[in-house]
Structure 1
């Protein structure tokens, strides 16, 4: 009898240990994907940084949707930073401003073509104004005009992560990417995320800035956060700034962080990985 009781207790202990040690994974709408020990049933080993992003990632309507979204998100994180300091072929400010006009047209044609192919939005604001270019030249760039790589600039805005990844791949096939900042992998202090590229345009040879955005984040950047930035700048420029002003600056910074966090969370759902044509 004692041996039977001892055997039963051993079986119970083994069963309990197995139940607690098994990795958790639930599939279906409203559930989460649990990722443990750096591995995932849908893919290879992931980094600690990625695991924190995916830890409470909601699953979509099917595991297939979730797997596609997971792969797209991994590809976005995998976009390698190109930490370079590219220079224009000319160091003459007037020459670069003149070249930028033609380069802007070339960049606009490229972004509009890609936007049409991938159901994205092209934002082409025009050449940077001479006043702003000169301010940057004599401020951040110490008078070195060849480092002005954002005179011609544009943005592509995607509705979802999968489309953003496709846009990045399409850009890489169309132009030479000479610098890339992956702010999805390393966001700014306020949580802002994008892929910030400097590309060499094939026809003009001019260096231009191309930003790849997610829609919700771009809306914050061009809307509420822009107003917050202006308020912070106004308070910062005050020579008689007091502790109440500093407290207000801190509040505004926290508000900015929350806006970007909400925008990023909006895209952390597999349903956004399905690139659907926009309705007319």
Structure 2
């Protein structure tokens, strides 16, 4: 029994604790592009990747896609601890570097899309928030992502560019957590990705601010070295990078990546 095997078993338990969401059934992994493909992806990719997973299954009969959505830093830790996954899509190069430095990537990551921050506020913007400076007003409660999470690091960069200092009411472990605080009325605003604000447009408004251009996040994606289904993993990465995949991502508000 190898150390790697033990670490993989333990990490697999951790992954299941966080919760795996699947688009298909429980088909065994295969090596011919069919079978199950397990994708670890940043929480901000939830809506887009869920749709892409269903589209991929429809165009690849015999394949099912299972997702684990969470904060990129938590996912990177799981991957390096041996969690069983075929693909990793992170919300920043820094969190992807954790995986590549550990030797867990099969090749070089490629940038899939880019994303920028907006200020999420309740529908109608009752607090009249127009920019980052308004978040520092007395009595304004703000949710941020924790700094080790890509959306938290981007928020700190944007606030620094604006010269704004504030003490958040809460620090969340992923962008969905920060967004939920606004939905629940527990805070007056949150710094979240443009795509997440758009996905919650029925309940929230997104306020654009110029400093977000100083904190653009690139989203790298890679097939993992110890993938149980490497052919299926490569097929999935190719699909999300195809014209059909990019159409879904840009419709969600993601930006096209720089030419690679």
Q: TM-score, normalised to structure 2's length? A: 0.27
Higher helix share: 1
Q: Which structure's CA Rg is the greater one? A: 1
Which gives a bigger RCO, structure 1 or 2 (Cα 8 Å, sep 6+)? 2
- Answer 1 or 2: which has greater strand percent: 2
